[in-house]
Amino acid sequence: MADEKDTVHYTGSEGGWGSLRGITETALRERPSPGALNTLRRQNKVKGFMCVSCAWTKPAEPHAFEFCENGAKATLWELTSRRATPDFFANHTLAELKGWTDHQLEQTGRLTHPMRYDRPSDKYVPCTWDEAFAAIGSELKAIDPSTSVFYASGRASLETSYLYALFARLYGHNNLPDSSNMCHETTSVALKGSIGSPVGTSVLADFHLCDAIFFFGQNPGTNSPRLLHPLQEAVQRGCKIVTFNPVREKGLETFKNPQSPVEMLTPKSTQISTLYLQVKTGGDIAAITGMIKHVLAREEALWARDKRHVLDVDFIEQHTTGFDELKAKVDATSWAEIERESGLARADIEAAADIYCDADRAIAMYGMGLTQHVGGARNIKALVNLWLLRGNIGRDGTGVSPVRGHSNVQGQRTVGISEKPELVPLDKLAEQFGFEPPRDEGMNTVKACERILTGEVKAFIGLGGNFVRAIPERDKMEAAWTRLRLTVQIATKLNRSHLINGEVAYLLPCLGRSEEDMQVSGRQAVTMEDSLSCIHGSIGRNTPASKQLLSEVAIVAGMARATLPENPKVKWEEWTADYSKIRSLIAETYPEQFHDFNDRVFTPGGFYRGNSARERVWKTKSGKAQFTVPTALNSMGVGEAEGRYRLMTMRSNDQFNTTIYGYSDRLRGIEGTRDVLLMNPEDIKAAGLRAGQVVGLASDAEDGEDRQVGGLTVTPFLLPRGCLGAYYPEMNPLMPLWYHDEESHTPAAKSVPVRIVS
């Protein structure tokens, strides 16, 4: 590995003054509206407002300021005083706006009026809500429901999500892809298959009990900074943290708690990871297999010496299946292969496995570094293998804990936004609303893209998000998009997806979560589910950005009423008037998890909706937790080739997905630009390049397609050899649509095969 001094990197710790400066800079840039500070004070508190940034849990005993740099940025972003008004749209054609950056588009501020796309002038023009709903309704009535797609980004509340999914099914389809299809769908599929539950098994209390936490491909410093507080507390009581990540992410190295005066005023900070292993991109299965090999070796030695076990043999015997097959495979795998595929030394992998064996209770956390690979599900199953060996699932202080992305992405799946009919209680819905729900499998994100390309899809509705920017194969997708008959985007701010329109197109502005949502029965609360399966109520109190805004519930109900025939059991107006009625419907559909929903909305710390695997009830095919034999040691979809690199697409500390707040990736030391190609200094030399040179990347996926992105400055960075890093969403044109996880179809955004071009 090259020396850090030859690379671009950050020298401080995560948190600390840097994060406060980050918030101040955002406040200056967004010019937040009055009341924003009060909103920050109420953030993630009971009867407060639940952050729109990440999905990390909100503790029952919050800190005085239970928010982080990036949560504050997300709130200030929503509460900006800038406005994208009808006047703004009158002055700019969409052709012109297409030349603007993502950052410039969102900096125009909050959308204020419902707008219709006027093709002759290539501009958005204001319209009334009634006009928009009527036009959308008549367009939807004119097409076969199965040719429409209702996408959801993971932010909308449980109430909105439930109604949105109900609308789709009453209309006649299960085409409900959501951002999860690009994110943790791999988790939903792999955990469901191996432990029978599609979500993580840990709760917050487990973080106070565990002896070790292992991080695989998740970056809390940027993407879930409030998670650094329980991590810091864990470290301080002696818990060991081990990280597997190709990048030395600052938040996992050291943390300075911005809420601790002692740490802020002294050089003190907490070292987070005891052991930090820079695994090769896509090399986790090899690393985990190595750990398993060492655990098995220790088992053998301990048993021979004093007839004691390292494995939890009772657990394996009673609760699992497939152990012998796994053991045979691991025994047959050599350390040479493991070292080659993981890029790690045997001694380091053994050191990680020793920490694992010495911990009575261990938690595994992971993120996009495991899920966004062709072998993403295989990555997760390998991790589950390791966790089952010592009974680290379904016991206090243990668990597998995927860190979810959007603030309600997990909850949307819980209440019916799913293209998979078998995951939804359709019979129950049929009984509740007196209709015959569609039973055919719907389109996930990749399927929707494929059928937009072939022209089979006629209508697309986006409940939030920036679909065209977030998906792979951008160039072809943008071209195909204009052939859609109807596109509707429900949004708070202008983004690239709003500039690429179907024949008939509407841009519908909605309230943000921090804003007061007044309906006929008064001010409304909404709810969401966090990464640890806890449900929280949230009340917005800020004055809405414009008097014309409707809530997401009202917009979904408005479109549904204009589209669907009368049904006495379906009461869109009544539900919009009082969201507690929607919560009663949710409780009726999902009584086990949501009983007494309205009484429990403001439970401190949220209410836990339960998890069968946590109770060691395995809802798998075999009725047991499943060991899986790895079929390969890496999660790549193509082999090695001369000049081929593995590109990981990265998030900076100054973005939320496609929302680019600014150009400072402070925690990696990259400032002022996003057009960089991060590369190991030895690789730079070996390729005959030099730091600062501007190059391009071309797709190297062996499918004959020409995909390129140019204008990237070669930047020396501590990455394993053969691995490159560059920012998402700029790199998305390089991703083939077919290059996705084998089981869940999550695009493999962390291992894109590319070569460098001049």
Question: What does 247 bind: ligand MGD, Mo ion, none (CB cut-off 5 to 8 Å by kind)?
Answer: ligand MGD
- The residue range among 22-30, 141-149, 309-317, 725-733 that interacts with ligand MGD, by the rule CB under 6 A, is 725-733
The option from Mo ion, ligand MGD, none interacting with 510 (CB < 5 to 8 A, set by class) reads: ligand MGD
Q: Minimal distance in Å, beta carbon 536 to ligand MGD? A: 16
Q: How far is the CB of 747 from ligand MGD (least distance, A)?
A: 6
What stretches of 143-275 show up as alpha helix (H) in DSSP? 158-171, 185-195, 204-207, 220-223, 228-236, 261-265
Applying CB under 6 A, among 560, 678, 750, 753 the residue interacting with ligand MGD is 750
Part in contact with Mo ion (CB under 5 A); list of ranges 175-183, 385-393, 444-452, 725-733: 175-183
Q: Hey, is 180 helix, strand or coil?
A: helix
Which residues within the stretch 651-680 sit at the binding site for ligand MGD (CB under 6 A)? 651, 655-659
Residue 527 — φ and ψ, nearest 5°? -130, 155
Binding partner of residue 109 among ligand MGD, Mo ion, none, CB under 5 to 8 Å per kind? none
Is residue 493 near ligand MGD by the rule CB under 6 A?
yes
Query: d(Cα 488, Cα 460) in Å, to the nearest integer?
Result: 6
Q: Which residues contact 257 (CB under 8 A, 6 or more apart)?
A: 15, 228, 229, 232, 263, 264, 270
Shortest Å, Cβ 568 to ligand MGD: 30
Q: Binding of Mo ion at residue 74 (CB under 5 A)?
A: no
Q: Which of 401, 368, 397 is nearest to 533 (CA)?
A: 401
Q: Does 405 bind Mo ion (CB under 5 A)?
A: yes
Instruction: Give the C-alpha separation, 374 to 639, whole Å.
Output: 12
Counted residue by residue, the chain has a size of: 758
Q: Which of residues 361-380 bind ligand MGD (CB under 6 A)?
A: 367-369, 372
510 SS3 class = strand
Q: Is 461 among the residues that bind ligand MGD (CB under 6 A)?
A: no
Select from 47-55, 180-188, 513-521, 601-609 the region that touches Mo ion (CB under 5 A). Answer: 180-188
Nearest-approach distance from CB 470 to Mo ion, in angstroms: 9
Q: Minimum distance from CB of 312 to Mo ion (Å)?
A: 33
Residue 388 near ligand MGD by CB under 6 A: no
Count of CA atoms in the C-beta half-sphere (13 A) of 666 = 23
- Which residues in 636-665 contact Mo ion (CB under 5 A)? none
Provide the 3-class DSSP secondary structure of residue 481. helix
Please report which residue ranges of 332-473 form alpha helices under DSSP H: 335-342, 346-358, 368-371, 376-389, 409-414, 426-433, 445-453, 467-470
Rounded to a whole number of angstroms, the minimum distance from the CB of residue 223 to Mo ion is 9
The Cα–Cα gap between 4 and 119 comes to: 53
- Cβ atoms within 10 Å of 134's Cβ, excluding its own: 15
What is the phi/psi pair of residue 578, to 5°? -155, 105
CB 251 within 8 Å of CB 222:
yes
Give me the least distance between CB of 232 and ligand MGD, in Å please. Answer: 18
Which lies closer to ligand MGD via its Cβ, residue 201 or residue 652? Answer: 652
Nearest to 757 by CA among 728, 727, 724, 732: 724
Selected from 10, 481, 594, 728, the binder of ligand MGD by CB under 6 A is: 728
Residues at the contact surface with ligand MGD, assessed by CB under 6 A: 53-54, 70, 106, 153, 155, 179, 182-183, 216-219, 222-224, 244-247, 249, 279, 281-282, 284, 367-369, 372, 403, 405-406, 463-467, 470, 490-493, 495, 510, 512-513, 552, 648-649, 651, 655-659, 728-729, 731-732, 735, 749-750
Residues at the contact surface with Mo ion, assessed by CB under 5 A: 183, 405
